[in-house]
Amino acid sequence: MSLDDEELSAKIRRHATRHTAPDALRAGIRTQIALAEVGRAPHPRRRWFDFGSLSFAHFGWRTASVSFALGLTAALFVLPVAQRWNLQQPLDTELVADHVRALHSGPIFEVASSDRHTVKPWFQGRIDYAPPVFDFAAEGFPLKGGRIEHVRGNTVATLAYARDLHMIDVFVWPSDAQIEPVRSVNRGFNVVHWADGSMQYWAVSDVEGAELLRFAQLWKAQAAKL
Amino acid sequence: MSNRQAFERLVMPHLDAAYNLARWLLRSDQAAEDAVQEASMRAFRYVGSLRGEDARPWLLGIVRNTCFTTLERARSGPQQVEFDDAEFEAALGAADPGQSDPAAQLQRSRTRVQIDAAIRALSPPLREVIVLREFEDLDYAQIAKIAAVPIGTVMSRLSRAREKLRDTLSQMSLGE
């Protein structure tokens, strides 16, 4: 039995699944748009330097040499300082300190929600990248909310998850590295770090190391589906 | 009319169509939701540029681009093949029509599972034209504009997609 185009067409139209947008998605989009409108109206975003109006043809080699000189200056003066600072305090120590401070004096989340469609748009306008946000309530790691941390001068999206009575902080910022989850221990806290070619992640918590690694694997599996 | 009002009036009514396309292209609820949310924000930003133009193909174009960016980022291998047998087997196996259904409904949901599985297994460019043509009822010119390819390419993709679907469905009915 072979179908002609019209029969096939009719069959698809009649039987194939038509997916409908979940209500939570509609609500999330409306929230995000409301936030975007509120965020935009009173503070028109102004750049200190308008790259759009700058064309290479206008400035030619002068721009290139000035840029090169600036880059060289940065390399000569900033790098050694940054490296020394790096040696003084490893990143995981700093993140553990952020986690502890948030647990002590709060807020552990500035946006409290278990709905990823509320948490994800909350970051818009606060940071210049869109971190993936997942909820793993079914796997025992419910999403609790999110906040912004300042890590080494960067504004970093931080997601808070619960595991029974423990809190897990996930610090997310862009990176093009690919790193399999590795665990380290810092002042009794477990730190699991991984990167998936788009973002890098640092999960910090006092849950058992194996649990935190499992969380990282869940995350990786979910992110791979994107 | 503010952007927000324009978005609510012009874009929101087509959210099901947007989600359906994203869900078929990305084959995952969560990925589709993220893509539609991202595409919606882009649509919100540019809704002002939509002067009397039909909003549905315009929105589907944005959704489609977002989805293909996601697919490229994931660099999923199956994009290279036109029909993914492993995916097809998995999709067919995952959906169980259920035991308590009366016979007619059972047959009907079996047809649905088979057709869904066959469409799911098509490569994204072929799946795209099938969804736009059969679900959204768009014409060749509209599909060509959305997918940014010539009309001839749309026609050849559509006929390849139909060929694959026909083969798969007839093989399945032989097996029954």
Burial B147-156 (b: 16+ CB within 10 A, else e): bebeeebbee
User: Which CATH number belongs to the domain containing residue A201 in this structure?
Assistant: 3.30.200.100
Chain A hits for B37, Cβ within 8 Å: 25, 28-29, 32, 117, 120-121
Nearest to A36 among B26, B41, B173 (CB): B41
Mark out the alpha helices in A56-152 (DSSP H runs): 56-73, 79-88, 91-105, 116-122
Is the separation of the CB atoms in B20 and B59 below 8 Å?
A: no
B171 touches chain A (CB under 8 A): no
Chain B hits for A218, Cβ within 8 Å: none
Same domain, A147 and A185: yes
Same domain, A96 and A155: yes
B30 touches chain A (CB under 8 A): yes
Q: In this predicted structure, what is the pLDDT of residue B104?
A: 66
Give the chain B residue nearest A124 (alpha carbons): B41
- pTM here? 0.53
Arithmetic mean of pLDDT over chain A:
81
A82 touches chain B (CB under 8 A): no
A10 touches chain B (CB under 8 A): no
Q: Which residue has the higher pLDDT, A179 or A106?
A: A179
Below-70 pLDDT ranges, chain B: 1, 75-82, 93-102, 104-105, 174-176
B112 touches chain A (CB under 8 A): yes
Residue A22 lies in a domain: no
Which of A65-69, A134-138, B81-85, B87-91 has the highest mean predicted lDDT (pLDDT)? A134-138
Same domain, A84 and A143: no
Mean pLDDT for the stretch of residues A126-132: 89
Maximum CA extent, chain A: 76
- Lowest mean pLDDT across A27-36, A59-68, B1-10, B23-32: A59-68
Chains A, B: CB contacts within 8 A come to 110
Q: Which residues have CB under 8 Å from A96's CB, separation 6+? A: A186, A187, A189, A191, A204
Chain B hits for A15, Cβ within 8 Å: 108, 111-112, 115
> Which of A:98-157 have CB within 8 Å of B?
117, 120-121, 124, 130, 132, 134
- B80-176: what fold? Arc Repressor Mutant, subunit A (1.10.10)
Asked if residue A31 has pLDDT above 70, the reply is yes
Name the band, by pLDDT with cuts 50, 70 and 90, for residue A42: very low
Residue A20 lies in a domain: no
Residue A150 structure tokens: 């300042």
Looking at the 3D structure of chain A, how many domains does it have?
A: 2
Mean pLDDT for the stretch of residues A55-79: 64
Q: How far is CA B104 from CA A210, B24, B100, B110, in A?
A: 49, 26, 12, 10
Asked if residue A27 has pLDDT above 80, the reply is yes
Q: In this predicted structure, what is the pLDDT of residue A94?
A: 86
- Among 3.40.1190.20, 3.40.50.720, 3.40.1390.10, 1.10.1740.10, what is the CATH number of B1-75? 1.10.1740.10
Q: In this predicted structure, what is the pLDDT of residue B93?
A: 67
Question: Which helix (DSSP H) or strand (DSSP E) does residue A184 occupy?
Answer: strand A178-186
Q: In this predicted structure, what is the pLDDT of residue A192?
A: 93
- How far away is chain B from the Cα of A198, in angstroms, using its nearest Cα? 8
A43 touches chain B (CB under 8 A): no
Query: Domains of chain B: which residue ranges?
Result: 1-75, 80-176
- How far away is chain A from the Cα of B98, in angstroms, using its nearest Cα? 16
Mark out the alpha helices in chain B (DSSP H runs): 3-6, 15-26, 29-46, 55-74, 85-94, 103-120, 124-130, 140-147, 151-175
Is the separation of the CB atoms in B119 and A8 below 8 Å?
A: no
Residue A95 domain boundaries: 90-224
Mean pLDDT for the stretch of residues A25-53: 65
Chain B hits for A11, Cβ within 8 Å: 111, 115, 169
Same domain, A173 and A183: yes
Same domain, A177 and A101: yes
pLDDT tens figures, A183-192: 888 888 999 9
B156 touches chain A (CB under 8 A): no
